[in-house]
Amino acid sequence: MGILESGYFSDEANNSSDFIKKSYDKYFSEYESINELAHSILNRSYTLIGDSPEKLVIITLYSRILTSYQSIYHLYERGYYAEPRIILRSLIELVFYLSASINDPKVIKILQLKDENQKLKSLNRIIHSNTNLKAFQDKKKLESIKEDIEERKKIFEVTDMGIESISKIAKMHDFYITVYSILCLTAHHNLTDLETHIEIQDGLIMGLSYGPTDPKLEFNLATSMEVILLAMEAMEDYFHLKVKSELELKHDIIKNYLSRKGSDS
């Protein structure tokens, strides 16, 4: 069956995926090479955690960065457009938190506070809900849980902070106001971004655009590589792994890719 019958599960989509992988082999190969270096950093850092809760948080953030990075590869390899961009946005956000946590230890406390605030927000939604959801809950138990969360929040000597402020502590504010902000259009399903599903010629709508595609693939793959390299540099600064020369070499390669492809407009 074809793409319109079974989408990305079709033989037609598989053929397109093979074509995309061959067409951008240079980018995918470099992506794999950086992935290997990134995992060597994970393994070496893991041995240095000891009994430090802060180091454990850093490692878990970095682990999520790695899985996001790999997900982007597999989705672009299959010719997806929006989905890897959404994960790229998440990847950038994760690196904001990682780098900010390394630059300023109080960010880890802010992450803990965010977690408690989210729990409290979800709990209040249930408590104050006008739906039948309340009928399935023990109100006294919910109020008790709420009191526990509010009590735990008192120990934090930090205030919550938005992602833009976090990006500044991470020294990545330029990413926030450029690539990250543009990717938000995809993540929040902006109508302008949804136009990628429409084929337009000379201002006229010709039909539906559906199936494997490759717009901005090179730029977004290169951006993913650049972002994870920043995460790797942060890990180097924190754990002193002596891989700076290798990271600088990779950075030069990716900067060359990005300078040739221009901006993600």
Q: With beta carbons less than 8 A apart as the criterion, state whether 205 and 249 touch.
A: no
For position 137, what pLDDT does the model report? 63
For the chain, list residues with pLDDT below 70. Answer: 131-137, 261-265
> Is the residue at 46 inside a domain?
yes
> Is the residue at 84 inside a domain?
yes
For position 262, what pLDDT does the model report? 55
> Is the residue at 232 inside a domain?
yes
> Is the residue at 111 inside a domain?
no
What would the pLDDT profile of 101-148 be if each residue is shown by its tens digit? Answer: 999 999 999 999 999 999 999 988 888 877 666 565 677 888 899 999
For position 200, what pLDDT does the model report? 77
How many CB atoms sit inside 10 A of residue 156's CB? 15
Number of folded domains in the chain? 1
For position 133, what pLDDT does the model report? 60
Average pLDDT, the chain: 91
Residue position matching structure tokens 């995309």: 20
Burial class (CB in 10 A: 0-12, 13-18, 19+), 179: buried
> Is the residue at 112 inside a domain?
no
How many CB atoms sit inside 10 A of residue 128's CB? 8
For position 265, what pLDDT does the model report? 41
> Is the residue at 123 inside a domain?
no
Q: Give the structural domain span for 238.
A: 3-103+171-261
**Closest listed residue to residue 221, CA positions, set 55, 79, 8, 41:** 79
> Is the residue at 114 inside a domain?
no
> Is the residue at 217 inside a domain?
yes
